[in-house]
Structure formats: C-alpha cells, structure tokens
Chain A
Amino acid sequence: MPPSVDLLQGTLDLLILKTLALEPMHGWGVALRIQQISKEVLQIGQGSLYPALHRLEYRGWIKSEWASSDNNRRAKFYSLTAKGRKQLAAELDQWDRMAAAIALVLGQDKAATA
C-alpha cells in the first residue's frame, strides 16, 4: 500500500478547486491529477471524489458540461465558475494562515523539547 494521508475535512474541496483552476477536467482527470501532483502521497479514494464534485456544483462553485474526451468518449467536464474562483482564493488564503499557525505551534514545540 502506498503511504496514505487522511485528508482534513474541507481539504478535498480545496484540492478539487485548485485542480480545476488550471483547466476544465472530468472526474477521472481530477483524480489522476491530484494523485500525480502530490507524487502519490495524497491517495484520495476515487469514490469520495464524486460526492464532493456534485456538492461543489450544487453550491455553484463549479459547473459541468458533457463533451468529448481525448479518446472520443462522452465525459462530464467540470470547470470553475467566477464564484468558485473567489472561493478558491479565500480558501487558499485561509489555508496559508492555518498552515503558518500550525507551523508556528509545532516549531515552538520543537524548540521547547529540544
């Protein structure tokens, strides 16, 4: 088994938004992309991707349309909406702040125990 990392709640949404920000993509593509970019560290359950995609679509952050894929097979492509772009920015910002805060706490911890 490859090493898997449990995703924080809401992190999957962020990853999907970030992935779709590059270009419209179908679900399979999103799964592949996240796996590849994270160098197989983030082993997301492919199944859990779809509820997330649909949830984001009902929230209006992404939209979907059916189009031909590279091998001429009909596939559902998702793309970011303007609202989604704003949401992505906000979530990235929040992520940065949280990551910084966590790093700070952990760094202090290390200093204390060292």
Chain B
Amino acid sequence: MSRDPHHRADATAGRWLRMLRLRASWFRRRPSLQQELDEELAFHLEQSVRLYEAAGMSAAEARHQALLDFGGLEQTREETWRQRPSWLIETILQDVRYAARGFLRNPAFTATVLLTLALGIGATTAVFSVVDRILFRSLPYAHDDRLVSLGLVQSLEKQEFTLGGFFYEWRDNQRPFASLTFETGTSDCNLTDVNPVHLQCADVAQNFLPTLGITPLLGRNFLPEEDLPHGPAVAMISDGLWLSRFNRDPGILNKSISLDEHSVRIVGVLPRDFEMPRMQPVDIVVPAAMDIAAQHTVNSGIGYPMWAFARLKPGVSLAEARLQMQPLYLHTQQWIPAEIRNDFHLQIRSIRDRQMQDAYRAAWFLLGGVLAVLLIACANVASLFSARSAVRERELAVRSALGASRGRLMRQTMTEAWMLALAGAFAGGLLAELLLQVFIAIGPAGLPFLAKARLDLRVIAFTVLISLLCALFFGILASVEKPRALALAARAKRSRTHARLRRTLVALQIAISAVLLSSAGLLLKSFANLENQKLGMEPRDVVTVHVPLNSEHYPKGFMDFYLRAEAALRQLPGVSVVGMSSSLPPDGWKSGTRYAEILAVGKSPAPQGSGGTVTTRTVSPNYFRALHIPIVQGPGFTEEQRRSDSHILVLSQLLASRLFPGEDPIGRHVQFGSFNPYFTAGPTLFTVVGVAADVKNSGLGVDSEPEYYTLGRDRDPDAWTRHHYFLLETALPAAVIAPWIRAQIAQLDATAPVEVRSLSQDVNQLGDRPRFATALLGFFAFCGLLMAVIGLYGVIAYVASQRTQEIGVRMALGATRLNILRLIAGEGVRMVTLGGLLGLGAALALSQVMQSLLFQVSPRDPQIYIGVAALLALVALAATLLPGWTAMQVDPVEALRNE
C-alpha cells in the first residue's frame, strides 16, 4: 500500500491508454464515434501531462497529476457517451440481447412464464372481445350516450313501444329532446328483379337517420316530401346488399329496383356498421310515409305501433327527460281505456340499456372472473421471477460489483418483464382467437354480440395494455428486492426476503382461486338445479312441426289446412299421438290474459290490475297426451267436443287453486271481461272441464304463470292462426321423420315452409346460457387453481431445496423424518390456510352480487364453501407433500458433505 503513489498512477494511466486502444477494437460497430471520443480524451491528457512536464515534473508525476485533475476518466467516458441521442435505444437493445440470452439459457422458466401469461392474457382478451360491445364500446351512432328509447310499457309488453295515436302529440309538444323519431319495425319484402331475393325492409321516419347521427355512406337521407303518403318511392340500401347485389357499384344512386313489384329509387347507401336501434337485421330502409291524420282512426283508433327514439338536448339528463315527459304522458293516459290505465307506465332509457337488457350483469361477472385469472397469472409470474432472481443472485451481485448501477439492474429486470409480457401478449392473442372460436361454438344464441365478437385493433390494444400492466406488476415486484453489491456476502438474508414475497404471492393466488372456485361451484349447483327441475311435461320423443302459412293463399282462414294436415300426420308410421297447440311450453312466445280480467262466476272479481298475467293456449285434446301432462281432475277435453258448440276450459292447478281456492272447480263457470270502468263480464260462459298439472311456461329459471287452455273447435275458425304447432309423439328421431312430414305437408300446400324440431333439443337449448356461464367460469376456476398449485409447489420445492443443508444438520442432531416433513409442509399449510381463509371470506362478501344469476341456490350455500375448502386443502396437501417427501429423503451425510 505504501508503494510509490506516482508509480501506481503511472501504471493506471498506462493501463488506461492501453484500454483506449482496446476499446477502439471492441466497438467495431460504431468505430468512428467511440474512437473519436477516446482520441479526444487522450489528447486532453497528453496536453495536461505535457504542461506538468514543462513545469519540471517527472513523467510519472506529470501523468499522475494530469489524471488527478481530470477526475474519473471512465466515468467521464460513460457520461459523455450517454449524451448521444441514440444512447437510450442502444442500451435497451443491449438489455434485450442480454435478457434473450438469459431466457434461452433457462427454457423451463421461459416456457412456464410464457404459458402462464398466454393463458391469463388469452382468456382475458377473449372475454374482453365478447363483453366489450356489451359494456364499453360505443354504439354505431354519433354521441350515442345522448340517445334514448322511449314509450309505454305494460305487464304484457315490457319493451317500451309507442302508438301512432299519441306519438305525434309527443313529437310536437315534447321539450327534453332535440329530436324525436321512430321506426315501425321490419317486415319481409322481396326484391323482384331478375334473381328475386327475400329481404328485410324497415320503415323509418324521415328524421330517423339524422336523429341517430348516421350519415349515409353514399347518397342522401330521405327528403321530407318523400316521407308523405303517396310520396315518391325511394329507399336506402345496406352496405351488405350493396356489395352482394350491386358489387359496390358507385353508380347505384338513382337507379330503380323492383321491391314487391313496385319500382323504388335508391337514394343512398347506409354505412357499413349501420344497425337498427332494436338490432333487427335489415337490408332496405324506406320512409314510413305515415298518414298522421289517420292514426286516430286506424287499428281501432289507437294508431299503428311504432318504436320511438330520441336525442336528448344538450345538458338534459335522463332523469330530467323523464320528469319533463310526465305531463305529456299523463295527457296520453286520458286516452288509454280507463280499465287498463294503471297497467301502463312511461319508460325512457338509453338505447344501450334497451339493447343489452340483462346481459350487463353476466358480462361484468365474466370479465371479473377472467380478470381474477389474469391476476393469478401475473402473481405466478412475479413469484417465478422472484425465484429466478434468487437463483441469479450471484450473477446480479457480480454485475453490481462490476459497476452496474441499481437503476441499471432494475431496468434490466423491467426489460425482461416487458419482453416476456409482449411475447405473452402475442401467444395470448393467438390463444384468444382460438378461445373465441370455442366461445362462439358453444355460446348460447341469446347472448348479444357473441357471434360478432372479433379480435380487432381495439381488442389487441387492450391485450397489449393488460400485458404491459401485468409486466409492470411482476417487474416492479421482482426488482424492488434486487441485491446490492453486498448480496455476495449476505446471501442467506436476501433469500429470506425473496421467500416472503413469494409466500405472499402464493397466498394471494390461493385466495383468488378460492373466490373463483366458490363462484363456479355456486353456478354449477344452480345449473344442476335448473337442469333437474320439473318441467311438468315430457319433451322426450316429441317432435314439433311449425308451418307458417302464407296468408294470401288462405283467404278463408287456416283451420281447414290444419285439420287435413293433422289427419295426414296421423297416418305416418311410428307416430302414436298428434296434438296441436297455438304455442309451445316451456319458453318462447305465448299469449296471455290479465288475471284480473278472469271472473270465477259466483265470486267477486279480483281488484283491477292485481294478480299479474295468465298464460293461455288453444290446444287439441291430444296436446296433453303428446306432452304427458296429467289431467288431475275432471275428464279434460275430448275429441267429440271439438265438433261441439260448448265453451269449455282446462285450468292449470295453479290457476284453479287461485280462482276456486279449496273448491272443486269442475263444472264451475268462468267469464272473461274488461274494466269499463267497472268490471264488465263478456257474454260467453266457459265451463271448467278439467285441471291439468302445472307446466313450466315462462322459461326455466323463472316461476311459472298460471295457465288455462281453450279447445280449438271446428265452429271457431278464427281461433286458428297461421302459427299453430303440431306435436308428434314418436320414437323416431326428428331427422328421420322430417322428410315424411314434409312430404305429407307438401301434398296439402307445396309452397308452405315446414320446420321440424325436436322438443327435447329445444328445451335443452334453454340451458345454453347458464351452461355457457358455468362452463366459462369453471374453466377460469380450473386455470386459476392450476396456476396457484404450480406456484405453491414451486415455492415449497424451492424452500425445501434451499434448506437441504439445514435439514441435514437437523437430522444429524436427531430430528426424525416426520419432523422434517412437518417443517417443510408446515410452510405450505400456513400459506394455504391464510390464502384460503382470505379467499373464502372475500367470496362470501362478494356472493350477494351473484344472487340474480343463481337458481334455487343461496349465494352462501355452505355445501359449496365447505367443498371449496376441502378441495383447496386436498390439492394443497398434494402440492406440499411432494416436496416434503423429497426433503424427508435427504441423506444427512450427503447434505453436510456438500457444504
């Protein structure tokens, strides 16, 4: 140490000058800049040395003094080099290369991380692409948050509608809206040029497109004079039709097409993403051309039904709009018949709410579930990272000792995190595309937008965003505990910090898994209840036939056709019963009556508006036989009565017990009436001839309505609509019998379309939606549990391997193998207990949210929570016993020799 300092300085300077030359060859990629800097600095030192030599110093002294004056040479070099604008990118590239080498050296780690990330990110992306349109994405209208749907609702129609009889009064007197418009629905129409095609046409008001903020892709909106009765016939066509029919010919404007044999001029093309607010498919839009004056006379004086939409004035909220429309609504009320006035309400809600109905909750629920999986994945990667940096502690400590700053090492970790996250995002994107195909394949028909879900730019941006957030999460967690230079010495202490972080992360994963598992368990139980509930009928072996007849071919009504078809179907081999009905249980369209309008003769009428609605069907006697619905009281309908004059009814048990509580309803009489303003019974007296067992008639997860059946009689041809169903009891599959059925029907009416379906399949489809939610959440819970268990196993195995020497010492000091097992497994048990309790607590706290998704299951069903606890305990035991077992096998002699 006390050697001549000048000599040392000389040696330093000499080494430095040698290094400069070396450096020049190192950086061949950018020789000029690096060389220039080195040469510049060398010149400076030379001049300095020369000055001191001139002042009489020895060469060695001069060099020493020059270096002293200059300060940290290497530091200056670095600092100067860093001034270059491209410095940051170069450093990042360097980090990337370094990280890539590290990943390739440790393929098991890299593969595990990528797989975990791909699963988490992929599932999240797929779910997001489905729920995005439901929850977040704006509708294809300008400023869609200002658009509302408004109208009346009543117990038989919960989707708001308006009528021509009052719409114009609303339009002319309303204050909250900048504009009010309507559409009158879509209907079948035919393009009758060469190659006729069947299309959907919508009738809209002239201000329909401007109100919704839609600009035509081509051409113009309708003119006011085109929206008048007998105005010029014009139309706008959809982009789809423009492409399929006219190959996007820009010269389409002002061309005429033949629509239902009338010549119509095309004035515009709708934008590509055009959508009716009620989401009906549409190919052609035409002006409604309403005769406003006639609205007080047509359709019994109430006007045609229409669906109204409006744009709120700036600054007017939905609540204010409701308030401001109230006086107008009250005025409209005067005009509703007094007896049903109470049943009507004004409803104003956003178009989005109208479109999504009850899909919000399920969408949030799925998104929450998949985000939980993502969180588990990120925690898993964080704990993998942490384990890896514990292993790389020496490497990092060496880098740190060689001068890499803490910031530099953190940046290295973050670079690795970003790289893995982006690779994970890519793999996740591919997986998401795959999952989305699966979703669409198994998804229920009723879920809005599922079939339209795509991985577009917006979804991909979301994917990249969540993967970067995830990288931020695990990168920061892993880099906050980076070793200092001291780590070389203080190895054991640092490892413990790593271990604590990983234990926390594992407990977190277990907790989230517990939440996912219990939600999935609740849904599963609910779904099982739904599947196992009593339908009240036997849909197996029933084939339904629907023949939507063309009204123009049947000016005298449809009854004759149905009677002949019934006789023909009876002739089919393998068909034991042929029943008929105006509608089908357990779901789907059905007609209804208000309970208060049914009068049990001899009793006082129910208060107006009370009792809800009652389902009603017109059936043939064999309807009950085909569906195996037992007639529990009375004879029921007979074949002979079909040709009789008698007015008879079969009541469901529920309705019978409400109309005639505690009495025998057979032979009693019922009248149907209306409030005018007091209850006035209709002229016809119906006799109750039977009571049928209750049947599910409002869908699976919902309480059934009371129901009554009327008999389809020959004397009552008006009761036969063009939408009657045949129910055939047959052991043959629908696919086998369908051609025979079609052949029979074709003999009667060759033009009638025939739909043949298996009733049990239709009923089965009703479970699609809950089945979808259950399958998805089950999948998430499984993924979450799997990842959590891998994380648990990894941590325990790592801890066990780290403590091999300790175990050796303990065993040498007399610890039994069981003691060792307890030592290692105890670690896991603590993590699982803590995480499990936390998770079950959170699940219980969150369970109320699930209430509406569950059918006949309490959200706090103890069975489920005990089951989840047991499952967690079982899986956790396996994940801890395995490494514990390995630890037990440690040979103390071997372990101590390794020290």
Residues of A within 8 A of B (CB): 26-28, 31, 45-48, 50-51, 53-55, 58, 66, 69, 73-76
Contact at B85–A58, with CB atoms within 8 Å?
yes
The smallest beta-carbon distance between B31 and chain A, in angstroms, is: 15
Check if B814 is an interface residue, CB within 8 A of chain A.
no
Contact at B43–A28, with CB atoms within 8 Å?
yes
The smallest beta-carbon distance between A26 and chain B, in angstroms, is: 7
Contact at A48–B84, with CB atoms within 8 Å?
no
Query: What are the residues of chain A within 8 A of B46 when measuring CB–CB?
Result: 73
Query: What are the residues of chain A within 8 A of B44 when measuring CB–CB?
Result: 26-28, 31, 46, 50
Q: Which one of A26, A31, A50, A69 has the highest number of Cβ atoms from chain B below 10 Å of its Cβ?
A: A50
Known A27-B40, A28-B47, A74-B43; contact A51-B69, beta-carbon cutoff 8 A: no
Known A28-B48, A58-B84; contact A51-B43, beta-carbon cutoff 8 A: no
How long is the Cα–Cα vector from A46 to B41 in the complex, in angstroms?
A: 10
Listed by A's residue number, 19 A-B pairs whose Cβ atoms lie within 8 Å are: A26-B43, A27-B43, A28-B43, A28-B44, A31-B44, A46-B70, A47-B73, A48-B71, A48-B76, A48-B79, A50-B40, A50-B80, A51-B76, A51-B80, A54-B80, A66-B36, A75-B43, A76-B39, A76-B40
Contact at A76–B71, with CB atoms within 8 Å?
no
Check if B532 is an interface residue, CB within 8 A of chain A.
no
Complex A-B, nearest 7 residue pairs according to Cβ-Cβ distance, in ascending order: A47-B71, A47-B76, A54-B83, A51-B79, A28-B47, A50-B80, A45-B71
Contact at A47–B72, with CB atoms within 8 Å?
yes
Check if B803 is an interface residue, CB within 8 A of chain A.
no
List which B497-529 residues lie within 8 A (CB) of chain A: none
Kindly report which residue of chain B lies nearest to residue A30, judged by CB atoms: B44
Q: How many A-B residue pairs lie within 8 Å, measured between CB atoms? A: 61
Check if B82 is an interface residue, CB within 8 A of chain A.
yes
Query: What are the residues of chain A within 8 A of B70 when measuring CB–CB?
Result: 45-47
Kindly report which residue of chain A lies nearest to residue B73, judged by CB atoms: A47
Mask: chain B, 38-62; 1 = CB below 8 Å from A; 0 = not:
0111011011100000000000000
Contact at B43–A73, with CB atoms within 8 Å?
yes
Mask: chain B, 60-92; 1 = CB below 8 Å from A; 0 = not:
000000000111110110011011110000000
How long is the Cα–Cα vector from A16 to B266 in the complex, in angstroms?
A: 75
Q: Which one of A26, A53, A74, A76 has the highest number of Cβ atoms from chain B below 10 Å of its Cβ?
A: A76
Query: What are the residues of chain A within 8 A of B85 when measuring CB–CB?
Result: 58
Give which listed residue, B36, B69, B73, contacts A76 with CB less than 8 A: B36
Contact at B75–A47, with CB atoms within 8 Å?
yes
How long is the Cα–Cα vector from A75 to B72 in the complex, in angstroms?
A: 21
Contact at A50–B84, with CB atoms within 8 Å?
no
The smallest beta-carbon distance between B22 and chain A, in angstroms, is: 20
How long is the Cα–Cα vector from A17 to B816 in the complex, in angstroms?
A: 78
How long is the Cα–Cα vector from A51 to B73 in the complex, in angstroms?
A: 12
Query: What are the residues of chain B within 8 A of A51 when measuring CB–CB?
Result: 76, 79-80, 82-83
Q: Which one of B40, B48, B69, B79 has the highest number of Cβ atoms from chain A below 10 Å of its Cβ?
A: B40
Contact at A46–B39, with CB atoms within 8 Å?
no
The smallest beta-carbon distance between B49 and chain A, in angstroms, is: 11
Contact at B43–A50, with CB atoms within 8 Å?
no
List which B5-62 residues lie within 8 A (CB) of chain A: 36-37, 39-41, 43-44, 46-48
Contact at A58–B83, with CB atoms within 8 Å?
yes
How long is the Cα–Cα vector from A50 to B83 in the complex, in angstroms?
A: 10
Query: What are the residues of chain B within 8 A of A73 when measuring CB–CB?
Result: 43, 46
The smallest beta-carbon distance between B338 and chain A, in angstroms, is: 85
Kindly report which residue of chain A lies nearest to residue B78, judged by CB atoms: A51
The smallest beta-carbon distance between B404 and chain A, in angstroms, is: 20
List which B77-134 residues lie within 8 A (CB) of chain A: 79-80, 82-85
The smallest beta-carbon distance between B62 and chain A, in angstroms, is: 14
Q: Which one of B43, B72, B82 has the highest number of Cβ atoms from chain A below 10 Å of its Cβ?
A: B43
Query: What are the residues of chain A within 8 A of B36 when measuring CB–CB?
Result: 66, 76
Contact at A46–B83, with CB atoms within 8 Å?
no
Contact at A50–B41, with CB atoms within 8 Å?
yes
How long is the Cα–Cα vector from A68 to B394 in the complex, in angstroms?
A: 49
Q: Which one of A27, A47, A54, A69 has the highest number of Cβ atoms from chain B below 10 Å of its Cβ?
A: A47
Contact at A54–B84, with CB atoms within 8 Å?
yes
How long is the Cα–Cα vector from A58 to B41 in the complex, in angstroms?
A: 18
The smallest beta-carbon distance between A60 and chain B, in angstroms, is: 11
How long is the Cα–Cα vector from A45 to B44 in the complex, in angstroms?
A: 13
How long is the Cα–Cα vector from A51 to B83 in the complex, in angstroms?
A: 6
Contact at A46–B71, with CB atoms within 8 Å?
yes
How long is the Cα–Cα vector from A53 to B76 in the complex, in angstroms?
A: 12
11 extra interface residue pairs, beta carbon distance < 8 Å, beyond A51-B79, A51-B82, A58-B85: A28-B43, A28-B48, A45-B70, A48-B71, A48-B76, A48-B79, A50-B80, A51-B76, A69-B43, A75-B40, A75-B43
Contact at B43–A76, with CB atoms within 8 Å?
yes
Query: What are the residues of chain A within 8 A of B73 when measuring CB–CB?
Result: 47
How long is the Cα–Cα vector from A53 to B39 in the complex, in angstroms?
A: 15
Query: What are the residues of chain B within 8 A of A53 when measuring CB–CB?
Result: 80
Contact at A74–B71, with CB atoms within 8 Å?
no
Query: What are the residues of chain A within 8 A of B48 when measuring CB–CB?
Result: 28, 46
Kindly report which residue of chain A lies nearest to residue B36, judged by CB atoms: A76
Kindly report which residue of chain B lies nearest to residue A76, judged by CB atoms: B40
Contact at B76–A50, with CB atoms within 8 Å?
yes
Kindly report which residue of chain A lies nearest to residue B40, judged by CB atoms: A76
The smallest beta-carbon distance between A40 and chain B, in angstroms, is: 12
The smallest beta-carbon distance between A77 and chain B, in angstroms, is: 10
How long is the Cα–Cα vector from A26 to B44 in the complex, in angstroms?
A: 9
How long is the Cα–Cα vector from A31 to B66 in the complex, in angstroms?
A: 13
Give which listed residue, B37, B69, B75, contacts A46 with CB less than 8 A: B69
Kindly report which residue of chain A lies nearest to residue B44, judged by CB atoms: A28
Query: What are the residues of chain A within 8 A of B69 when measuring CB–CB?
Result: 46
Known A27-B44, A46-B69, A54-B83; contact A74-B76, beta-carbon cutoff 8 A: no
The smallest beta-carbon distance between A88 and chain B, in angstroms, is: 19
The smallest beta-carbon distance between B357 and chain A, in angstroms, is: 61
The smallest beta-carbon distance between A78 and chain B, in angstroms, is: 10
How long is the Cα–Cα vector from A33 to B79 in the complex, in angstroms?
A: 23
How long is the Cα–Cα vector from A28 to B84 in the complex, in angstroms?
A: 21
How long is the Cα–Cα vector from A105 to B751 in the complex, in angstroms?
A: 102
Kindly report which residue of chain A lies nearest to residue B69, judged by CB atoms: A46
Query: What are the residues of chain B within 8 A of A74 when measuring CB–CB?
Result: 39, 43
The smallest beta-carbon distance between A104 and chain B, in angstroms, is: 36
How long is the Cα–Cα vector from A69 to B69 in the complex, in angstroms?
A: 21
Kindly report which residue of chain B lies nearest to residue A75, judged by CB atoms: B43
How long is the Cα–Cα vector from A73 to B182 in the complex, in angstroms?
A: 89
The smallest beta-carbon distance between B305 and chain A, in angstroms, is: 73
The smallest beta-carbon distance between A97 and chain B, in angstroms, is: 28
The smallest beta-carbon distance between B84 and chain A, in angstroms, is: 7
Contact at A55–B43, with CB atoms within 8 Å?
no
How long is the Cα–Cα vector from A31 to B51 in the complex, in angstroms?
A: 13
Query: What are the residues of chain A within 8 A of B40 when measuring CB–CB?
Result: 26-27, 50, 75-76
Mask: chain B, 779-815; 1 = CB below 8 Å from A; 0 = not:
0000000000000000000000000000000000000
How long is the Cα–Cα vector from A31 to B82 in the complex, in angstroms?
A: 21
Query: What are the residues of chain B within 8 A of A45 when measuring CB–CB?
Result: 70-71
How long is the Cα–Cα vector from A46 to B72 in the complex, in angstroms?
A: 10
How long is the Cα–Cα vector from A31 to B76 in the complex, in angstroms?
A: 15
Query: What are the residues of chain B within 8 A of A47 when measuring CB–CB?
Result: 70-73, 75-76, 79
How long is the Cα–Cα vector from A50 to B82 in the complex, in angstroms?
A: 11
How long is the Cα–Cα vector from A69 to B75 in the complex, in angstroms?
A: 26
Known A28-B47, A46-B44, A48-B76; contact A55-B39, beta-carbon cutoff 8 A: no
